[in-house]
Amino acid sequence: MKSDPYYIRLRFIAVFLVVLSVAFGQNVFADSSVPVRNNTGNKAAVEALFADVPQMVSVARCESTFQQYTSKGTTFTGAGGRYVGVFQIATGHTATAKKLGHDIYTLEGNLGYARYMYDRQGLGPWKGCVKGTVAIAKKPAAKNTTATKKTTGAKTPLLTKNMGVGAKGSEVIALQKILNLSGFYIARSGPGSSGHETNVFNMQTRDALKRFQCINNIVCKGNERSTGYGYMGPSTRAALLKEAKKRGL
């Protein structure tokens, strides 16, 4: 069988393809359906996510020149692999980022977690790339707080009842707004995204609420019925109201 002309031709073709692969630096057996990882559109993605914070666009340029991937398609890292992607996020954040639904080794996850960090710490984590007096982002001034209280009186709590998947109403809008502003995004764009919150407690809302519960050590396993994971009960509502107050809602 080894001397059969048919098998001889097959072996010749296989050897020929291998030679071509080596000669042209390409794997001719590669699946062409596998997406190519490159940095096309990275800068535009950063500008869109941080349209309100142009300094962060400069940070991304300084940290990685907007690189998430190398020319070989692997994740771009710095300092011997200790920092990852566009915003050079320390690998020590990997577990926390995953709890929030962000994979810092992907473009979307790297940018999403960078937004989460910025919303909490300002430009501090990237102070090496920030010059002058903007090293730490300033929070909105509270000088008008007293005047606001005089004219509006005590604020009505945004959340007053327990809620789960299927709930509808203005309190769902408030819930989604708190989650989005806190970095636990319902959606990146369209319905449920920041500024486009809906009045329906859907599966995306539940998933975002789960991340909030887990990162705040409320509950991190089980389900709505067994442990309240993904359900807004008294403990979760209290934590959300605390977050809302922090955000000035």
Question: Is 15 a domain residue?
Answer: no
**178 and 228 assigned to the same domain:** yes
Does 130 or 110 have the greater pLDDT score?
110
Question: Is 10 a domain residue?
Answer: no
The pLDDT tens digits for 15-64 are: 555 444 444 444 444 443 445 578 988 998 888 888 878 899 999 999 99
Question: Is 91 a domain residue?
Answer: yes
Domain boundary among 69, 100, 134: 134
The pLDDT tens digits for 28-40 are: 444 434 455 789 8
- The pTM for the full model equals 0.49
The pLDDT of residue 74: 93
Question: Is 141 a domain residue?
Answer: no
Domain boundary among 97, 119, 134: 134
Is residue 184 within 8 Å of 239, Cβ to Cβ?
A: no
Give how far Cα 73 sits from Cα of 79, 181, 183, Å.
19, 32, 28
**69 and 130 assigned to the same domain:** yes
**46 and 130 assigned to the same domain:** yes
Domain boundary among 103, 134, 165: 134
Question: pLDDT at residue 89 above 90?
Answer: yes
The pLDDT of residue 199: 94
Question: Is 28 a domain residue?
Answer: no
Give the CATH number, domain containing residue 180: 1.10.101.10
**164 and 104 assigned to the same domain:** no
The pLDDT of residue 207: 92
Q: How many CB atoms lie within 10 A of CB 245?
A: 12
What's the domain range around 73? 42-134
Give the CATH number, domain containing residue 61: 1.10.530
Question: pLDDT at residue 151 above 50?
Answer: no
Question: Is 76 a domain residue?
Answer: yes
Question: Is 187 a domain residue?
Answer: yes
SS3 (DSSP) at 84: strand
The pLDDT of residue 77: 95
What percentage of the chain reaches a pLDDT higher than 70? 75
Question: pLDDT at residue 69 above 90?
Answer: yes
Give dist(CA 171, CA 69) in Å, integer: 41
Residue-averaged pLDDT of the chain: 79
Structural domain count, the chain: 2
Relative to beta strand 83-84, strand 89-90 is: antiparallel
Mean pLDDT value across residues 64-83: 93
**51 and 104 assigned to the same domain:** yes
Question: Is 202 a domain residue?
Answer: yes
Is residue 204 within 8 Å of 198, Cβ to Cβ?
A: no
Give dist(CA 104, CA 94) in Å, integer: 7
